Structure 1
């Protein structure tokens, strides 16, 4: 019996050490918020690529983790932290940034890039959250996060049941040709679940370049504006109302604009709240 107890104690100690030794760098807001939401802050040694404000309920946890840079941290800074796990934007794993996945692995860094950043399927977001939970021995926390997201989305779906679809132009940026939310990403799925119909739903990209002619032809009832970066939400509205080719559209004249911060339309834990935000913006048109 003593030998069995000792064996169990050793196994638990090894397992605990294995988890405690995980040192995570997160290079996207959506993975940072996933990790914080499941209670993985003690494993996190650095973050980067903050698009907008962290969820209020996660801000205290976030403040305790070093922000390495606004964009990609340097290799020197990254490796000086002795990281063992990297997640975030897939573009971080290039020779110009932190190195290829093969290079990172050779240097003792485990790499996990979320499947959901290249998908239009909400289930992939849930799977990513549950993966983090399993990998970090926080499975119950991860399950609760997923269950809460599903519950929030279901309420919106029930509310919109039987209501007419609202034609939506989802504008990101650019002036000569609009950079938009297309039909092959999570943004399009969110618009549909919120009760809208993306006028660029037939495009084969998540974000990409559209054209003003189609916006004029489709005559959207509402304009969803992605808010982030150097150009403010207000400046984008000013352009649409004063200089853009669509300034005569009814939706523009009647100020039917809805603001959506970038992190609320990225593949993370905010998608349920993002769907709620879009749905709230559509209600005036639906009614």
Structure 2
């Protein structure tokens, strides 16, 4: 091909692009097979993602994928996005609603990709599942942390490993594998530093109080606070519970004698109100943690699967170290 012919072809390409012609974008056409829980799924690079809650949005933003996010759904329980480390990224995408994730919203948004957790966004009862979205030709991605009881294709990964897995898989789907590897390596290093500095001796018994008065709602072994507690040098008193978030009994809390209580801060009930309840409630008022006023507040987005888990770990680890001084 001579120089003149090449110049003509290049000029034609530029003209077509300038006129808005649909020039093939090789990145947009890229296909890759990645696991969705335990199921291998073929993905085409998404362009209009809908993300549910802060954890999903944060994973996308941390990977530098804001341009691929159409909008987010943020139920009222979530802290304001203005408090997020990625507040400027939230401002660049559309706020789609403050209710639970639903199929109509996703369809109306003309989304080609939905990020949420199993039974934390996706739900049989509400008629929005990965299988249903497959039938609508809408791709979906589930947090690995939520996959241990996903029907038909379960996957069991410890919570922090699940965070790393999600970032690596999203990196594959969007073709930013190097970025994902660098991000995960940085997070792993921060976690290793915390674990190396954790107090020695018997782990401190810790109770995470989410909510509830008749019965407390707490963290089992399958959610990030379990890893936050153990990596920092504590022991989740319900760490043997093979569940994500679960109702327990006050009797079990009392029997475990927690020396520290983590308050999960979210919704319309401030953390201080939860602390006052525990101080006044007869069943908990004599717990070692309550008597010694040992409460640590964990932000909601530090407790659900997302990059802010690392911040939550570092904050709680610093709190435990202070108790040893």
Are 1:113 and 2:142 counterparts? yes
Are 1:63 and 2:74 counterparts? no
Instruction: Flag structure 2 segments of 5+ consecutive residues without an equivalent.
Output: 14-22, 31-44, 148-156
> Equivalents in 1 of 2:125, 2:281: separation in Å?
38
Paired residues of 2:199 and 2:321 also in contact (CA < 8 A): no
Measured against aligned partners, the alpha-carbon deviations of 1:5-24 in whole angstroms (never above 9, x if no partner) come to 99xx9xx9442343676210
Are 1:85 and 2:110 counterparts? no
The TM-score, its normalising length taken from structure 1, stands at 0.88
Q: Match for 2:51 among 1, 19, 26?
A: 26
SS at match of 1:170: strand
Paired residues of 2:211 and 2:217 also in contact (CA < 8 A): yes
Choose 1 or 2 for highest CA Rg: 2
Paired residues of 1:48 and 1:70 also in contact (CA < 8 A): yes
Q: Match for 2:183 among 145, 148, 155?
A: 145
> Equivalents in 2 of 1:207, 1:76: separation in Å?
27
Paired residues of 1:166 and 1:286 also in contact (CA < 8 A): no
**Count of aligned pairs between the two proteins:** 281
More helix by share: 1
SS at match of 1:86: strand
> Equivalents in 2 of 1:227, 1:58: separation in Å?
19
Deviates most, 152-161 or 95-104: 95-104
1:174-213 matches, within 5 Å, as 174-213=212-251
Are 1:243 and 2:281 counterparts? yes
Corresponding residue for residue 128 of structure 2: 99
SS at match of 1:152: helix
Instruction: Flag structure 1 segments of 5+ consecutive residues without an equivalent.
Output: none
Are 1:254 and 2:292 counterparts? yes
> Equivalents in 1 of 2:238, 2:103: separation in Å?
39
Paired residues of 2:257 and 2:287 also in contact (CA < 8 A): yes
Paired residues of 2:263 and 2:296 also in contact (CA < 8 A): yes
RMSD: 2.5
The TM-score, its normalising length taken from structure 2, stands at 0.78
Corresponding residue for residue 49 of structure 1: 74
